[in-house]
Each structure stands twice: as structure tokens, then as C-alpha cells.
Structure 1
Amino acid sequence: MTRTDKPRRRSPAANTAARATLGAPFRAGTAAVRLASEDTAARFASSTYNPKTRTVIAVLSVGARVPRFGAFEELSIATDAIDLRRVALGQVRLLDSHDRSSVDAILGVVTDAWIEGGKLLGRIQFSETDAGRNAEGMVARGEVTAISVGYRVNVWTRVGIENDVEIWRADEWELLEASLVSVPADADALIRSAQTTLNTHLKGNRMDPEVIDNSNNENTRQIDVRSPQNDGARQVMSDREVREAYDIAERAGIPLDFVRRHVDSGGTMADFRERTFERLADNANRTRTNAARSDETFENPDFLNRSIVDALYSKMTGKAPTGAAVELAGRSMLEMGAMILQSRGERVSWANRVTLADRVLTRSGHTTSDFPNLLTLAGNRVLADAYQIAQTPLKQLARRRTAIDFRPVSILRLSEAPRLDKVPEGGEVKHGSRVEAKEGFAIDTYAKIFGISRQAIINDNLGAFGETSGDFGRAAASTEADLIAGLLLANGGDGANLNDGNPVYSTGRGNKAAAGSAITVDALGAGRKVLRDVTDIDGKTPLNVVPRHLVVGSAKETEAEQVLHEISAVQVDEVNPFPGKLTLHVEPRLIGNSWRLFADPGQLATLVIAYLAGREGPQIDLQQGWDVLGVEFRAVLDFGCAMQDWRGTYLNPGA
């Protein structure tokens, strides 16, 4: 198999059947790296390093056959097989041994990539960092020469079996990153040596008319000095001019293949300089055009994606679009999906809208396309809006925590530090001790699944998706409110049990009024005194807790507002000391006439709420639809709450 051959396409059914024999490792959409192997080690000293531009040219991959998961893997090296869009966007980084966990591992960036002689080549520019300069020095000195790539495969093809071992070829793959490694998987994946190649090609002071094939030498590449158009005619440029042309191309950042083609065509040095100048002018103009596109046109995929999200959000909410989304406001979902396909260089046909909808919803290899991801982003914005509006005020009383997993979360509280003792001259400092109290709870998951079909995409029926996203945002807020209110309403309104087996509120603890009363200045004063006088868990140290929040149900809202209203008093005993000192919170789930005081959670928290790390609040995820012809979305909330202390709250059963 020639590496530059056009990949042979197989039907989806054939690929599925082929993949079934091997299983998950060769699933489409998976990311991988070409791991190092001692068997393919190759080293050499010279390189194409340019100290002026701080660049070097590397053979990123020759698609060599490497063992993986009990089979052999190959990469197709062809223009229609490799997705190099990330290179054009400057997103393909040079890493240290495939380390994607830290920005400190970034050594540079791949600024250009092209296919030459069945090899994927790339120009690398080193970073202006300590790590980048260190890597640059090692490459310049020939201490590091091996390159390895990270990539994502979208289409696998099983191409045969050799000695009972299956051979799989990546026929559509995307370059994600390149890495400097000690030993590459591809024996030819190395820092290139243009000078060695040129010196090998230019034997002495004459140009060898033969085709030099150094395919077995990693330090060289094939250069054919015969002109294909002239049937073997020698090149016109002198040896010195050829060397000068290669030097100009390297310094100007032009692929060396540009020089080879000019030499092959029999061009003169003057022609070469003119063509080089024209190419540099074209590159400069393209750079200015791309700079304008990055912020102003839909030709830039990132800008297009952001604009589509804004337009979808506007359609879902009915809010007026802003910015570039105004231009997309009148377009259907199918039209916007077609724009995404076109931005990836794919041809779009409107002859069959069902087929187009399938392409909008899925990428090749049956992986999820870009459009559902943008739909998810817009849906999450709608969900977040509804979630924020519907949140219970009880969350303002709680201290927030983050749980790294679903195991029980322990809440350990220590008593205040013991008082300091006077130490006489020459005396010994005594040890102190602290009493501890422990509570606990766990994060739980709450979720629902809903879908959007290809019929909805074709019919531009986005309203149901937007309404569902908003409904799930409100539902998530209601779920949290139900759980928190349930803690307060447990045990007939005395609150959930703590670790000591007793409810939060009780006359024995002293934080529950013996007899209920209306919300009055005197009743509030009695509750404030209880919190002021409460002692720490050692039973000795007063905490001087300050009430900041008054919490009532809807039955006591008006009464609470009247008491907290500031009035001009004529007599001293008519003065209301609480306006401006207590914040009123009304939660309809707290039925009845009871009312509660809470300290600021920053001083002493009674409630604690927690979300899973990285998932604060509800989130919408997606997967390719199986039960429906379309995409399924899942609204998920990972949340937990508990009562952690009784000392920061007071309950009056109400009149």
C-alpha cells in the first residue's frame, strides 16, 4: 500500500461489521497518540533548525504501522484523510511527551503542515518560555530528534490480516498535537535535516541527474532534480543558487517543496526571487484577511459557532438577538447546521432535507456533530436563566461546599480554641484541647432525558427544546428547594436530626421558643438573646451569634414586613431596633405560622449545600440518539444538603 494513495472508502455497515471483530479500541471518535517504541528508535545530529525564526521542520508522521490493542494501526497520509484545521487556527501545540495537563508542558506551536513524499511535515516554532527555550536548545544541539503526534480518528477501516493479526487504517483523522519524545512510534517521525538532504543530493560540485531515493535513511528525503515536464532535463540554477534558494525559503517560512518544484521546472534564480516575493505578499494579504475574519465574518468557524449559539438562544427565549446573531435570526436550524458543514469544507446539497438533517446531527463515523453541541450550549443558557430565577432564598442561609465524588461528605466542627493561660517566668506552656462535633451527608444525582428529532430540525421546531430547557432549569431549582425545606420541616417542623439523634430545634437545646407567638419586636428580641448567649460545643465559650435573616412562610410575609418596617417613634418603647438588621426571606414551602432566625452563614452556618466538582447547578449533556432518530439530551443535577449545627438558628412556632 502506497501511503499517498487515496483512502478506500467502505460502507458504514461494512465498517461496523469489521469493527465488531476487534471491539472498542478502534471506535470512531477516539483520541490516541503514537506511543514510543524501542524497536523504531532513530537518531541523527543535523536539523533544519533556524535560530533567526526559532523554527524547525519535523516529519510528524509517515503513517507507519504500529502495534495497538492486539492489532496493527496505520495512519493514512493523504490530503483528504488528514484534518489540519487546528493547524490553521494555531491550536496544534508542541508538547512535552503528550502532557496535556499543564500549560508548562507547552513547548511551541505547529505553524504550518503539509504532505510531501508520503510524509506529513510540519513547521514548529518554539515558545517564548523557559520550557520552550530549553526544548529549542536541545533540538538545535541534536539532543532531541524524535516526534510523536496526538490525534482523533473519525473513520477506521480494517484493511486486512497479517499472521492472524488485524490491520486497521485511520482513513479520516484530525491532528490534535505534536510532542517531543525520547523515541517515536514512527521511525521516520523526526526533526528533518534539509542541509544533510541537500548535501547528499549535491554530490561534490555537480548536480546528480539521477533520482536519489534515500527512503531507508531517516536523515534524508528524496529530491528529484529532473523536470517532469522536460523528461529528465537538468535544472538551470547552479549549485550555489540552489543552496541560496533553500536558505531563502527556510528564512521566509516557505515549505522547502516550493524550492524543489521551482528547481524541477527549470526556473532561474531571478524567477525564484520573484515567485518568492509574490508568495510572501499573498501570505501577508491572507494573514490580514484572516485577522479580519476572526472577528467579523462567518468564515471563521469559532466566530460562526458563537453566533449560532447566540441565535439559537434568541430563538428559544424570544429575546432580541444581538451582534452577528441578528443576521442569523431569520435562518432555520437546518440552514445554520448547513453553514457549519460548509465551514468545515463539506459540500451541502438541499436535494434531500432528511439526509442533510442526518449530516447536521451526526459526523462521519456516527459521532455527534458540531450543531448538537452548539444546541447544548444554547440550551444550557436557557436552563441557567430559569434556574437562577427560580432559586429558593433558603440557599442564602447555607454554606457551600464542593464534593469530588459521591462518597459521604463529613462535616467536622471543632470548638473554639481554649483561652490562653498566663505563663510565669520560666514556666511551662500547657497543652489545650478542643471538642469536636461531626455530621455528614452525600451528593445525589437527579436527572431526566429528553430528545430533539431530525423532524424537529427539518421543521425548525425549536420552541419545544427551549421550553424544555427552561422547565428543567426550574425543576432543578425546585428540587433543591424541596430538599432544603424538607430539612427544616422534618420532625413536625423541628428540623432534621443531627448526629446526636435530636432534631435541630428543641426547647432542650434552648433554640426553640416554649410557646409560639406572632412576629413582634419583643419576640424577635427574645430570639436574638438566645443566639447571643449560645455557647460553643464545649458548653463554655459564648459565641455571640448575630441574627441576620428572618425566614417565614407565605402566611407570615405581611406580618414580617410590618415588623421590619422602619417607623418614626415618639416614645422610646415604640422604637423598632430591627429594620436594616434583618433580611426577610419568604419560602412558600414553609407552611404554617412558624418563623425562624438564622445567623449569617459566614459566622455560623446551620445549613450546608454541596455540588459535584465542576458541576455546580444543573447541566445539559447530549448523546447520539438511539431510541429516537435525532439527539438525546439529559438534564442532570448533582446536589446534596444537610443541617450541620443548631447554634446558628432559632425557631418560634408562631401564634
Structure 2
Amino acid sequence: METMIELPALRRAAELAPSTAEPESRTVEVVWSAGARVRRITLFGETYDEELSLDPDHVRLERLNAGAPFLKVHELTELDAVIGSVVPGSARIENGRGVALVRLSERAEVEPIWRDIQDGHIRAVSIGYQVHRFEVSKPEGGRELWRAVDWTPFEVSAVAVGADPAAGFRSHAPLHDCVLHRRHAPIATTGVSPMTDKTKSPAAKDADAKTPDETTETVETEEKTTVTEPKDGASETRAQTKSQQPAKPEPGTASQGEDAEALVTRARDAERDRVSTIYDLAGRLSLERGFAEDLVKRGVAIDEARRLILDQVAAKSEETRTFSQVSVPLGGRDERVTRRDAVASALLHRYSPTLFPLEDAARQYRGMTLLELARESLTDAGVNTRGLSRDEVATRALHTTSDFPEILSAVTNKTLRQAYEAYPRTFALFCRQVLATDFKAMHRVQLGEAPQLLEVGESGEFKRGTLGESKESYKVKTYGRVVAITRQVLINDDLDAFTRIPAMYGNSIAQLESDVVWGIITANPAMADGKALFHADHKNLAGSGAALAVDAVGSGRAAMAKQTGLDKKTVLNIRPAFLIVPASLELKAEQLVAQNLVPASSASVVPQSIRTLAPISEPRLDAASETAWYLAASPNQIDTIEYAYLEGQQGAYIETRNGFDVDGVEIKCRLDFGAKAIDWRGLYKNPGA
């Protein structure tokens, strides 16, 4: 029965013979295989023995004899790792071993390696090979034997420590097809054992060459006699091994030396199995070699070693956060993310070197045009861009799985966010921010004063009180715009489309928020009681206008302090914290609250209570009145104006997608925002002179 499977490249220990080193030709002989059996493990965790046949008809030597590379520790992807090559035509099978002559490079960095080889310090060599066909058999009661009868060695490597017997698959090597030829299950026969190709008689070899219907079965026991049994049930002995073991002695007649030798052999085999299994499991599960070496040195039994290995794997999994495509250890970063951020940093630095300093990882992308970066992203994604026109590069970069759209998205987001945060939003000082969970109307309760405590006599009851309240409601609204950036922008290397346009959007969003909040002050909207925010009945509007001065501010402070609760009785004693003025009164307000002015007379002294006010200048107030000024309390003392963002969408939000109606990228800018005056008692207005 034959099965087709996929295997990566394998590697196995080899031997370097320093005594054969020739300084003049810089050559040294290596034994790249002795055909010994090694223990391996399948992808499903089952162990098997692997044997490389050194029959000249079973080994493809073309790649070695064509000058295969002599590498430094199997570094298949680095040119600097090539430290020499196999001398063409020197690879051969000799006395049951694979032998080849290796010539080392004359590069200066290879010279120390060559000297260490001559001195015998570097003796370990490992080969990389691919198996195209295995013949699989399974002796009764034993492991499966996978015998490679068609395989190709393709590189030789110098290594610090020879590859362990259970060296695993190289994770980055490509897969190749391999045929598994499985023989029929063996027939149990007493007193028989397998034989190698070297011990088979011609008749046995002829039997191996027959068609599947004529195939004979090979069976093994502890004795060294080999028989073959045709499928018709007739059994005939074909051959015996060259070295027959002596007949089993009668009980009580075996010498102590023979018993000791058998015990030593069994102990040695068991130790080899233990060491091979531990290294094999640790390698397959990507554990550190030092961890496996510690288990081997401490003599940990196989069952206990399996448990400790599983514990180590579990501990490693807790240190790793898994994503759909890649596992990123905590504290580490995926290479694609790092490269993406580096390209974005280079573009941002090109837009504004002062706002966005150049990161070290971005220096390699400095000076590259948008089209060059697009081509780079396509190449990293595995797209061959050779021969593509500028238009084709731009189109594919915007409409394939490359990182370029995400890079542009990162650039637009950062420039928008920077401009949004840089715009002065003066309302944030005296307003309260909240988050809205949806777009439904939010009802804000205007709490009144707490009821006064009443004396409770001995054995008396506590009387209940209630809180006065009044409702204000508002909801979050959505504001947005979409702008398209076409492939022509990439071709023309118009970076402003990805930087200045989002920056202008960020500035515009911040302006919109300010327009909404300050619009409440200037529009003087009606509250839940049907009266305007600033109204005589609310006792927060001066009866007659007065210029900004100490006396006028003092009157406003007194009015706020006298504000009462909803019961019209309880005095709240509200203290203003901010002096709000239009731009035309900014200088006068700063002079009024300045801490370092020395008045000419005592009549001009500004009280300390007024100097503690923080001035806020807002030019939007000038459009309504250049003389009106306001006082506002801290939102920590009492509600004034409240503004809200949709939860998860705080501030400006930008989204990009590949355009459908336009040939390019669409940038959507959105703001979910709302604001409302919650309480009039924390605000005061004077129309001014």
C-alpha cells in the first residue's frame, strides 16, 4: 500500500575528519551519512525509526556533486552563512558511508572557522536532506521502521554540536512530496528475525522484487534467523544472518559474563531510547534545548519527562497572546506590524519633522516616494512587481492584501488626531464630559439640595426626606464626511492628500465641538422649566449691564453664592472658578486677575478671591456680544454644561476602505457628539457696558 504525504527537509548528524584537511586547497573530507537508525516522531506524536539506505541506487547525489553549499549551522536564508561548497564530483558512497570533499571559502570571516577545523575544534557536521520515498515495515511488537529508499542530500553544515538523533523538522523549510510504501502486517512465526539487505540471499532479494501479489512477509524475533513466508502459507527459510549467535543455554548454565553483557546492552538501549525521546519531544514542541539537556542529565524517566515537558509547554502558552494569523509573545511584536509602523513613521516625519520625529526603524524608508513604498508593500506581501507600470502598482497596492492601505490609514489617523488635540477647546475647563451608550435621549436629573437633618429625640424615629429634582434631556448626534483619495495621488506622490487633508479634518472636528458647546452660551436656549438658560427668574442674569470690573464681578459672585435649591430656601453658596470673556476683553480680564500687579492706591486693590478666577477667552462670544462676560463654577461643585461622546468613539474617528465608486481609498471622518446645559445655577451672565 502506498500513501503520499508532505514532509519538510530533515537534518542529521554527520562527521568531519580534521585529519584530512589540506591547507593549500582549503579542503577537508566529511562523512555525511553512515546510514544509522535514528528515532523520530510523526506529526501525530507517534515514534518511528528512520534508516537512510546507502545503496547507490537509493541516493540522489546530483545536488551534492553539483557543488552543494557548505553552510554555517543550517542558515538557509542568509548568503553570509555560505562558508564553502562541496567539491563537484566528490560525493560518493564508499564502504557503506556517504563521503564528500568540502572546500572552504577564502573570505576573511571564514578564516577563523577554517583554522578551528584544522585544529580539531570544530568536528561536528550536519546534513540537510529530503526523502522522496520511504518503505515502511513494522516488526511484531516493535516500532515502525521507515527506510528511505529514495532521498537527496542537498547541503552540509558545520555546527557547534552535532544534530541530536531526533533532530526535528526545520520549521521554515518548504514541504515536498514523499511516498510511504507500507508492507503487509507480519505473520507471527517463532524463532525468526529480520535481515538487512546485506544478509539476504539472492532468492530473498528476488522475492522483494516481485509484484504485490507475490510479496513475502518479513518477521522478527529475538534470534538472528530470517525466514520469508509466501502468502499461500508455505514457509521456507531463505537465508540466515552471517553471524549466528550461540544457542540459548539451558537454565542455570549461562555464564555470569554473558548475563552481565546482556544487561549492559539492554540498559544502553533503554538509555538511548530515553535520551532520544526527550530530545525529540522537546524539539517538536519548540522548547529550549537546554531544558531537554537538563532532563537528560538528571536522568528523568520518560513518563516523568513527558509530564514536565507538557508543564513547560503550558507555561509557555501563558506567555503568548494568540491572534488569528500569528502568535505574538508579550513584549514582542509581529514583524509585519513593526514594518508597517516604520513606514508610517517615515511618512509622518516627511509631513512634519517637528511634530513626528523619525524613528530608528523608519530610516530605511526615508526619502522613498509613495509609489516606491507601495511597491515595497506589494513585494513584502509576495506580489511580483517586476514589469508593472506605475498605474498597476498603485492599483494593486490599494486593492490587494498588501499592508499599504493599513499604512495610509495609520498616517491619516495620526495626523487627524494630532490636529484634533492641538486645537484649543476652551469649553473643556468648565464643562463635564460623559459617555453615551447609544443615540437615545439621555435624561439628566438636576438634583436639588439634600433635606436638612432633624433632631431625633431619645427613642424617637428618623423622619424621611426627599430630594427635589428637575429633568434636562439631550442626545448624541452623528456628524461626518467622506473624501476619496485616488490612485492618481499615489502616482503623483501627493503626500498632502494623506496628511494635510486628515489634519484639516481633525481641526474641523474640534471646531465643531466648540461650536456646539459655545452655541449653548450664545443662543441662551430654554431649559426644562421653559425659561432661558440666563434669565432673571434664574437669578443668573445681571439686571443692568456693567463693564468688567471688580465691583461688577463682586456682584456676580454674590448672586451665585445666594442661589438656592429647588425648594427656593436652601442657600447653595456656589463659588465661581472661571471668568469667561470674549476675545475683545481678554487683556482686561488677565489684568483683573493678575497676581503681580501693584495697585497705586488701596482703592484699586483686587481682592484675592477675584484673583483666583481662571480667565477663559473665547472668540465665538464676540459674534454675539463684545461686552458680555460670564462667571462659571467648577463642574466638581455643581453641574453647568455637559457634553457627551458615544462610548468607544471618543473624539474624532476616521475610517478607510478601498473605494468602490472611486478608484482609490475612501476616508470617512465621523464624530458622535452632543451637549446640553444641565443647570443654570453654576453660570452667571453680565451683558456688559
Deviations 1:360-384 (A, max 9, x none): 21225xxxx4222221222122112
What amino acid is aligned across from residue 478 of structure 2 in structure 1? T
The partner residue of 1:353 within 374, 384, 390 is: 390
For 2:390 and 2:665, the matched residues in 1 are separated by 17
Larger Cα-atom Rg: 2
Q: Are the equivalent residues in 2 in contact too, given 1:398–1:601 (CA < 8 A)?
A: yes
Select 2:637's aligned residue among 603, 614, 625. 603
- 1:248 paired with 2:285, answer no
Question: 1:440 aligns to what SS in structure 2?
Answer: strand
Alignment-mate amino acid for residue 479 of structure 1: L
Structure 2 residue aligned with 1:304: 339
Among 105, 117, 141, the residue aligned to 1:204: 141
* Kept after mapping to 2: 8 A contact 1:397/1:601: yes
Instruction: Say yes or no: does 1:618 pair with 2:647.
Output: no
Distance, in Å, in 1 between the alignment partners of 2:640 and 2:649 is 23
Report the CA distance between 1:208 and its aligned residue. Answer: 7.2
1:516 is aligned to 545
1:644 aligned residue (673, 678, 683): 678
Give the deviation of 1:223 after TM superposition: 10
CA distance in 1, matches of 2:588, 2:508: 30
Deviations 1:126-147 (A, max 9, x none): xxxxxxxxxxxxxxxxxxxxxx
| 1:337-416 superposed matches below 5 A | 337-363=374-400, 369-416=402-449
Quick one: structure 1 residues 379 and 504, their matched pair in 2 at CA, closer, same or farther if it must change by over 3 Å?
same
Correspondence list, 1:171-250, <5 A: 203-205=140-142, 207=144, 224=180, 245-250=276-281
Task: Kindly indicate whether residue 605 of structure 2 is the aligned counterpart of residue 575 of structure 1.
Answer: yes
Partner Cα separation in structure 2 for residue 635 and residue 207 of structure 1: 64
- Corresponding letter in the other structure for 2:687: P
1:498 partner amino acid = M
Does the CA contact (< 8 Å) of 1:517 and 1:653 recur in 2?
yes
The letter of the residue matching 2:583 is S
CA separation of 1:606 and 1:361: change in aligned 2, threshold 3 A: same
| Alignment check: 8 A CA contact 1:315 1:463 kept | no
Distance (Å, rounded) in 2 between the aligned partners of 1:407 and 1:505? 27
- Over 3 Å counting, the alpha-carbon distance change for 1:565 and 1:243 in structure 2 is closer
1:486 corresponds to which of 503, 516, 519: 519
Change (3 A) 1:517 1:58: farther
Q: For residues 363 and 417 of structure 1, do their structure 2 counterparts lie closer, same or farther at Cα, with a shift above 3 Å needed?
A: same
Query: Judging changes above 3 Å, is the alpha-carbon distance between structure 1 residues 542 and 57 closer, same or farther for their aligned structure 2 residues?
Result: farther
CA contact (8 A) 1:564 1:579 kept: yes
Take 2:141 and 2:333, find their aligned partners in 1: how far apart are those partners?
54
* Residue of structure 2 equivalent to 1:453: 486
Per-residue deviation at 1:302?
Answer: 2.0
1:558 has 2:587 as partner: yes
Which residue does the alignment assign to 1:467? 500
Aligned partners of 2:508, 2:405: CA distance in 1, in Å? 23
1:434 to 463, 467, 481: 467
- Cα contact 1:449–1:634 (8 A) shared by 2: yes
TM-score by length of 2: 0.54
Task: Name the aligned partner's letter for residue 611 of structure 1.
Answer: Y
The Cα RMSD (Å) is 3.9
2:661 to 627, 631, 641: 627
Q: What residue is the counterpart of 1:288 in the other structure? A: none
Q: Aligned AA for 2:366? A: A
What is the CA-CA distance between 1:58 and the residue it aligns to? 9.0
- Alpha-carbon distance, 1:294 to partner: 11
Q: For residues 88-107 of structure 1, what are the structure 2 equivalents within 5 Å?
A: none
Instruction: Name the counterpart of 1:587.
Output: 618
What is the aligned counterpart of 2:360 among 307, 317, 323? 323
Q: Which moved more, 1:412-421 or 1:422-431?
A: 412-421
> For the structure 1 residues 299 and 338, does the alpha-carbon distance in structure 2 shift closer, same or farther, using more than 3 Å as the test?
farther
Q: Aligned pair in 2 of structure 1 residues 384, 421: CA closer, same or farther (>3 Å)?
A: same
Q: Does the C-alpha gap of structure 1 residues 57 and 598 become closer, same or farther in structure 2, counting only changes over 3 Å?
A: farther
Residues 549 and 202 (structure 1), Cα distance of their counterparts in 2 relative to 1, 3 Å cut = farther
Distance 2:351 2:4 in 1: 48
Return the alpha-carbon distance in structure 2 between the equivalents of residues 223 and 307 of structure 1.
45
Q: Assess if the C-alpha contact under 8 Å between 2:408 and 2:498 holds in 1.
A: no
2:372 counterpart residue number: 335
Give the number of equivalent residue pairs.
408
Closer, same or farther in 2 for the Cα pair 1:464/1:345, shift >3 Å?
closer
Cα contact 1:564–1:582 (8 A) shared by 2: yes
CA distance in 1, matches of 2:45, 2:681: 67
CA distance in 1 between counterparts of 2:277 and 2:140 reads 16
Change in CA separation of 1:202 and 1:609 when aligned onto 2, cut-off 3 Å: farther
SS at match of 1:508: helix
Counterparts of 2:447 and 2:684, CA distance in 1: 21
What is the CA-CA distance between 1:521 and the residue it aligns to?
A: 0.2
* Alpha-carbon offset, residue 323 of structure 1: 2.6
Long gaps (5+) in structure 2: 7-40, 47-136, 149-177, 184-196, 198-204, 210-217, 221-265, 288-327
Q: Alignment partner of 2:438: what SS?
A: coil
Aligned-pair identity in percent equals 31
Shift of 1:202: 5.8
User: Does the alignment pair 1:527 with 2:556?
Assistant: yes
The Cα shift of 1:649 comes to 0.7
> What's the offset of the Cα at 1:630?
0.8
Whether the 8 Å contact between 1:317 and 1:382 is mirrored in structure 2 is no
Which of 568, 571, 576 in structure 2 is aligned with 1:539? 568
